[in-house]
Structure 1
Amino acid sequence: MKALTPTGRPAAAVGFAEVGFAEVDQPRPGPGEALVKVEAFSVNRGETFQLEAPKPGWRPGKDIAGLVVQAAADGSGPAVCRRVVGHPPAGGWAEYVCVPTDSLAELPDSLDSVRAAALPLAGLTALRLLRTAGALAGRRVLLTGASGGVGHYVTELASAAGAEVTAVTASAERGRRLTELGAAAVVHEIGAARGPYDLVLESTGGAGLPVALSRLARRGTLIWFGQASRTPATLDFFDFFKGPESATLRHFHYADSEAGHGAGRGVGYGADLATLVRLVGEGRLTPEIGRIAPWAETAAVLTDLRERRIRGKAVLTVSA
């Protein structure tokens, strides 16, 4: 079968390895896995970071949608010919991929594979991030990095839950879309956010994190869920006394089972994927897709994603 693999050659001027087509063996499902024929997959900026130094044998791809062609031998999960969205550990940029059945959710006829493929990583992160944040009604929320895939989902879900969201994005055009999704205010740099905020959802790191922290209310909470700047943050203990005294600073990773549906009952993503599918079907969640392209254009799409030329998600369609 065809799959996209790191070529070992650097992509021009962007600092990560190119990907290209290779012939690889079709995977064989292990216990509790289904074989899915991939119809579409989405790419994530974090995957370009992994491509900077790809591990031997690793093939990228964690967000897929397609058709089950071999059900799990243990009887778990969707049956053959069911359309699904999935979140495999890797290898999804291919014609076929094995996915643990507890990381699959069935799709209704109303949800096409392109929109479904935009859900897994960004949608799971947003859903679990807000679950970690707790009750949102009436809370003032500051969201950095708001114009990416996660940011669009967070803005829409948090606003619908009653939060007053201030979104940070450098682009006025992207800001208008965030306003449409429910943001109460949009600022184009973190320093323009007024505050104080009860909750800060911070994804940029670097110099932006201490500025975001300074906008936090006393005893507020900052949840740190990314470092898009690729730059470490420096914090000063005494700066907390200038406003966010006794604040809570919390690290977040979406794969932590405590953030998932049914905390402590395993790390599968299927139940939360089903929630995302339901929310889309009810018109309460909008997959924000800035680029749709055939998978032959994956290398160019990755470069544009890395250089922030794509708003929201980028989805590639798979053909034989």
Structure 2
Amino acid sequence: MHALLSAPDTPTGVRAGQAPEPVPQAGDVVIEVECFTLVARNLDHAATLPPGSVPGFDAVGVVRRAADDGTGPAPGTRVATLATGNAWAQLRAVPTHELAIVPQRVDPGQAGVLLVPGVSALRAIRRLGALTGRRLLVTGAAGAVGHFAVQLGRLAGAHVIAAVRDHGSRERLAALGADEVVTGLDQVSAPVHGVIDSVGGPALAQAFDLLAEDGLIQQVGASSKQPTTFVPYQMVGRRRAIEGFWAGDRFGPDLAYLLDLLADGRLARLDGERAEWGDIDAIARRLRADDAPRRMVVTLRHDLSARPDADR
């Protein structure tokens, strides 16, 4: 089958090639991949993998072969999948507990763009505990995780403070549910109960000072690419914590929840620029441009679904 393969010796970190078709376990479905999403750091990660392996985390497609153990959806069902590896290919085998059915009202590309940042935001917010009536700070709120963290924080009953680099996103974030939009953490008054941080660097230390007693920061990213420095005794005197984010696994129920919110209009979609996967070099250049999209939807074209009995 056609696939994008890890190629550490190339400028993009991947190359187009052929990979063995997946051999499913009893609890796996095999899907014909329609699309997956990319950001530049996905390509950077792919370059760290063994040469010839198939990278990727999320993929949306149609079930070609149901799970042998009787779990999961039937052939012909469109599903969203999230798991480590083997996503950038025509076919993907994935355990049934790592997928959810895509509602008919949701476009496959919109579903794909939701998966990684949506689950990251949802699980990070859960780690903060009860948020009803409490203040939630979201740094890097203009990014993909921030897009969903603002909305999910609002749904959880929090007073949401969205921090961005400039005011260009103010109206959009207010429409998503942000109660306040700030361009610097010096504009935020303490205390905040929780922080979803995707910036890192000096902002992380500054956010730490805003935490209430027993407050928690979930660090889900480090877009600043800067180290964080704490002054002596900054972390002494109150119970508060920074926790590194770990996505975990068994994503199926969370994917279903998020897709249902999207289908019902309770979660605003995140638009992704679209491209066909034939020219990975052009896709890589676009993702590394100064005006790169927050996520790119890479679509596949193949005729496997037209040949259900073809020899694969």
| Fold shared by both chains (TM-score > 0.5) | yes
2:264 equivalent to 1:269: no
Q: Sequence identity, in percent?
A: 33
What corresponds to 1:8 in structure 2? 8
CA distance in 2, matches of 1:172, 1:140: 21
Q: Which amino acid aligns with 1:151?
A: G
Letter in 1 for 2:5: T
Could you tell me whether the CA contact under 8 Å between 2:140 and 2:198 is conserved in 1?
yes
Deviates more, 1:39-48 or 1:109-118: 39-48
Are residues 147 and 303 of structure 1, via their aligned partners in 2, closer, same or farther at CA, if it must alter by over 3 Å? farther
1:166-224 alpha-carbon deviations (Å, 9 max, x no partner): 11222433333222101112223444434432212222222221111122234422222
SS of equivalent residue, structure 2 residue 234: helix
Counterparts of 1:235 and 1:129, CA distance in 2: 23
CA contact (8 A) 2:13 2:43 kept: no
Partner of 2:210: 215
In structure 2, the CA distance between the partners of 1:152 and 1:7, relative to structure 1 (3 Å rule), is same
User: 243, 268, 271: which is aligned to 1:289?
Assistant: 271
Structure 2 CA distance for aligned equivalents of residues 133 and 164 of structure 1: 14
Name which of 115, 118, 126 aligns with 2:121: 126
Name the counterpart of 2:156. Answer: 161
Distance change in 2, residues 1:305/1:98 (3 Å): same
Unaligned runs of 5+ in 1: 12-16, 256-266
1:304 CA drift (Å): 4.1
Verify: 1:224 aligned to 2:206, yes or no.
no
Query: Does the CA-based 8 Å contact 1:294-1:318 persist in structure 2?
Result: yes
Indicate how the Cα distance of structure 1 residues 39 and 206 shifts in structure 2: closer, same or farther if over 3 A, else same.
same
Instruction: Tell whether the 8 Å contact from 1:48 to 1:306 is kept in structure 2 after alignment.
Output: no
Tell me the equivalent position of 1:234. 229
2:56 paired residue number: 61
Give the C-alpha shift of residue 36 in structure 1: 0.5
5+ residue gaps, structure 2, are 303-312
Shift of 1:253: 0.8
Q: Is the Cα contact below 8 Å between 1:148 and 1:311 reproduced in 2?
A: no
User: Of residues 163, 166, 176 in structure 1, which corresponds to 2:171?
Assistant: 176
Query: Where does residue 247 of structure 2 map in the other structure?
Result: 254
1:291–1:310 Cα contact (<8 Å) kept? no
- 2:16 and 2:280 in contact (8 A); partners too: no
Tell me the amino acid that sits aligned with residue 2 of structure 2: K
Query: Do the aligned partners of 1:219 and 1:246 also contact (CA within 8 Å) in 2?
Result: yes
CA distance in 1, matches of 2:187, 2:280: 36
Partners of 1:52 and 1:209 lie apart in 2 by 28
Whether the 8 Å contact between 2:106 and 2:263 is mirrored in structure 1 is: yes
2:48 partner SS: coil
Match of residue 263 from structure 1: none
Pick closer, same or farther for the CA change 1:102–1:307 going to 2, 3 Å.
Answer: same
> Deviation string for 1:100-133 (max 9, x for gaps)?
1111111221112111111221111111111111
TM superposition shift of 1:69 = 0.4
- CA-CA distance at 1:249 after TM superposition: 2.5
- 119-128 or 209-218, which deviates more: 209-218
| Aligned counterparts, 1:47-126, within 5 A | 47-126=42-121
TM-score norm. by structure 2 comes to 0.87
Which residue of 197, 201, 208 corresponds with 1:206?
201
| Aligned amino acid, residue 313 of structure 1 | R
RMSD of aligned residue pairs (Cα, Å): 2.3
Give the whole-Å Cα distance in 1 for the aligned partners of 2:257 and 2:152.
12
Partner-residue secondary structure (3-state), 1:296: coil
**CA distance change for structure 1 residues 61 and 246 in 2, over 3 Å: closer, same or farther?**
same
Given the two structures, how large is their TM-score scaled by the length of structure 1?
0.85
Count of residue correspondences? 302
What secondary structure, in the 3-state scheme, does the structure 2 residue paired with 1:21 have?
strand
* Structure 1 position 245 matched with structure 2 position 245: no
Which residue identity is paired with 1:227?
A
Which residue is equivalent to 1:135?
A: 130
**Distance in 2 between the 1:175 and 1:45 partners?**
25
Aligned to 1:36: 31
